[in-house]
Amino acid sequence: MAKQYETVIGLEVHVELATKTKIFCGCSTAFGGAPNTHTCPVCTGMPGTLPVLNKQVLEYAVAVGLATNCEITRYCKFDRKNYFYPDNPQNYQISQLYLPICRNGHVDIETKDGVKAIGIHEIHMEEDAGKLIHDEWEDVSLVDFNRSGVPLIEIVSEPDMRSAEEVIAYLEKLRMTIQYLGVSDCKLNEGSMRADVNLSVREVGATEFGIRTEMKNLNSFRSIAHAIENERERQIDLLEAGQKVIQETRRWDENKEYSYAMRSKEDAQDYRYFPDPDLVPVQITDEFLEEIRAKQPEFRPEKMQRYKEEYDIPDYDIDIITGSKHMADLFEATVAICNQPKKVSNWLMGETLRLLKEKDMDPEDIRFSPDHLAGLINLTEQKVINSTVAKEVFEEIFETDIDPEQYVEEKGLKTVNDEGALRKTVEEVIAANPQSVEDYRNGKEKAIGFLVGQTMKAMKGKADPASVNKLLKELL
C-alpha cells in the first residue's frame, strides 16, 4: 500500500506598513515615483549616517500583535542581519532576531473542516530592501532604493497548516485583520504583502517534522496554492525514490509552474546577527500599550454579527461589505446620514461592485464620499430623479465624487413633474405609434412597455416611469 503523507506548512508573511515615512528616515514611502527620488543618505547607506526609529512603525507592529493575540515584548531591540546583496545598501538589514516585538500569538481560521487556531511564533519589525531592475539592453542590473527602508513587519507562523486551503484562509485572515487595523493595504500583487512558504512532508502519524524548504516569490493566492501542491509532490517523489529533501530556499516561477533552488557558494546563509549599536532599546510602557489597545477597531467577525442584528440586509451582502474595511466604513457612514441600510447596501452590491469589476479595482480603491451616496439615495427616494438617471449620476460619483444634487441641477436631470408637459408628450407618443396602441387595446399588455420607453426617450429620461405608465393607461 502506498504511504500516506501529510504536508506541514509554516508561513513567513511580510507586510509593508502604511506609514507616511520610512522606518529610519524621513523619506516618503509612496509607491511608484521615479527611481531614487524617495531616498536620502540614511536609506542609501551613505557612510556616517544613522537610523532613528519611526514611532508609527512601533505602534502599528504592536497593534497587529494585539489583534493576533500575541504577547508584546516589553523590552525589545533591533539587530543587524548581515548579508551582501545590491538591493541592501548597507549590506546589513536592520531587523529583530533576539527580542522581536511580538511573540506567541494565534489567529483562528475557518475552513470546511471547521475552526482552527494557527499559532504565530513571532512578529518582528524590519526594513525593506530596494528594487533590482534587470536592464534589457545591457548585461547588468539597476538598483532603485525608493523602497529601501520602507517599514515591514514579518509575521512568522508556527508550522500549523496542513493544506493550501488552510494557508489561503490564514492569509485571508491576516489580510483582513491588518486591513481593519489600517496598518497596510496588504496587496500581494503590489508586494505590500508577501508570503514565503516553509513546507515539509511526513508520513501520516509521524511525530517528527520532515526537512523543510522555503519557497519565495509567491505573488498571488493562485501561485501560493500551485507552489504548495508542486512542492508537496516534489518532496514526496524524493522520499519515495529513497532520496532526501535538502533544506534550502527555492524560488517559484509561476509561468513555468516550477521552483528551483537558490543555491550559491557565495551565499552562506550565516547572517551574523548582533544587536544594532546605532539603535537604542524600546521599552513598552503600560500607557503606550493601553493607548494602542484602545485604538483597536471592531474586527470583521464582530462587525458581521452586529450588521446581522442592526441592519435588515442579506448575509451575502454582509459578507461582501465587511470583506473590505473601507467598504464597511463607507456603508456605515452612508447609513448614518440617510438611514437607509438596504438602499445603501444595494448601491454597494450592485453598481459599485459592477464598476469595480469593470475598472479592475479593489474595494479599497473606492474614492467617493458617503455624503454623495446618501445624497443620491435621497434624490431617488424623493423621486427627484428616476433610477436610470440615478445610475448615470452614480457613475459620476464613483468616478469623480461629484455632489449629486448640484450635478442633477446643473445638468437638468430632474424628473419632469409638470403634468401638462408629460401629458403632451404621452399624447404625441400615442399619436405616433398607432400599431402599439392597437396591440395594447387588443390585450397585448407588453405593448405598453414600448410606449413607456418611447415617452422616456422623448423626455430624455427625465420622467418618472411609473407616472408615465399610469398616464398612458389612463389615456388609452
144 counts as binding other proteins under rule CB under 8 A: yes
CA-to-CA distance for 172 and 384, rounded, in angstroms? Answer: 42
CA-to-CA distance for 232 and 221, rounded, in angstroms? Answer: 16
Q: How far is the CB of 192 from other proteins (least distance, A)?
A: 17
Pick the piece of the chain touching other proteins (CB under 8 A) from 277-285, 364-372, 397-405, 437-445. Answer: 277-285
Pick the piece of the chain touching other proteins (CB under 8 A) from 172-180, 220-228, 264-272, 378-386. Answer: 264-272
Q: How far is the CB of 68 from other proteins (least distance, A)?
A: 22
- Quick one: cell of 129? 530592501
26 counts as binding other proteins under rule CB under 8 A: yes
- Interface pattern 282-301 for other proteins (x via CB under 8 A): xx------------------
- Quick one: cell of 341? 441600510
Q: How far is the CB of 146 from other proteins (least distance, A)?
A: 9
CA-to-CA distance for 357 and 164, rounded, in angstroms? Answer: 26
440 counts as binding other proteins under rule CB under 8 A: no
363 counts as binding other proteins under rule CB under 8 A: no
Chosen residue from 12, 14, 69, 82 binding other proteins by CB under 8 A: 82
89 counts as binding other proteins under rule CB under 8 A: yes
305 counts as binding other proteins under rule CB under 8 A: no
145 counts as binding other proteins under rule CB under 8 A: yes
Q: Which is nearer to other proteins, 89 or 341 (CB)?
A: 89
**164 within 8 A of 229, measured Cβ to Cβ:** yes
- For residue 65, count CB atoms less than 10 angstroms from its CB and return exposed for 0-12, middle for 13-18, buried for 19 or more: buried
Q: How far is the CB of 224 from other proteins (least distance, A)?
A: 22
Name residues contacting other proteins, limited to 42-71 (CB under 8 A).
Answer: 44-58
CA-to-CA distance for 333 and 255, rounded, in angstroms? Answer: 43
461 counts as binding other proteins under rule CB under 8 A: no
Pick the piece of the chain touching other proteins (CB under 8 A) from 13-21, 170-178, 188-196, 320-328. Answer: 13-21
Chosen residue from 11, 62, 92, 198 binding other proteins by CB under 8 A: 92
- Phi, psi values for residue 260, rounded to 5°: -135, 150
Q: How far is the CB of 172 from other proteins (least distance, A)?
A: 28
CA-to-CA distance for 375 and 389, rounded, in angstroms? Answer: 14
**353 within 8 A of 343, measured Cβ to Cβ:** no
State which H helix or E strand residue 123 sits in. Answer: strand 114-127
**98 within 8 A of 88, measured Cβ to Cβ:** no
- Phi, psi values for residue 285, rounded to 5°: -85, 165
Which of helix, strand or coil describes residue 46?
Answer: coil
Q: Which is nearer to other proteins, 21 or 223 (CB)?
A: 21
- For residue 460, count CB atoms less than 10 angstroms from its CB and return exposed for 0-12, middle for 13-18, buried for 19 or more: exposed
Chosen residue from 244, 272, 308, 354 binding other proteins by CB under 8 A: 272
211 counts as binding other proteins under rule CB under 8 A: no
73 counts as binding other proteins under rule CB under 8 A: no
CA-to-CA distance for 239 and 213, rounded, in angstroms? Answer: 14
Pick the piece of the chain touching other proteins (CB under 8 A) from 109-117, 172-180, 279-287, 425-433. Answer: 279-287
Chosen residue from 104, 110, 117, 142 binding other proteins by CB under 8 A: 142
140 counts as binding other proteins under rule CB under 8 A: yes
- Phi, psi values for residue 22, rounded to 5°: -70, 170
CA-to-CA distance for 422 and 388, rounded, in angstroms? Answer: 18
CA-to-CA distance for 276 and 71, rounded, in angstroms? Answer: 23
Q: Which is nearer to other proteins, 16 or 317 (CB)?
A: 16
- Quick one: cell of 50? 544613522
Q: How far is the CB of 289 from other proteins (least distance, A)?
A: 13
Q: Which is nearer to other proteins, 28 or 369 (CB)?
A: 28
Angle 116-119-122 from CA coordinates, rounded to 5°: 160
Which residues are near other proteins by CB under 8 A? 19-21, 25-28, 34-41, 44-58, 77, 80, 82, 84-86, 89-92, 132-135, 138-145, 264-266, 268, 270, 272-275, 277-283
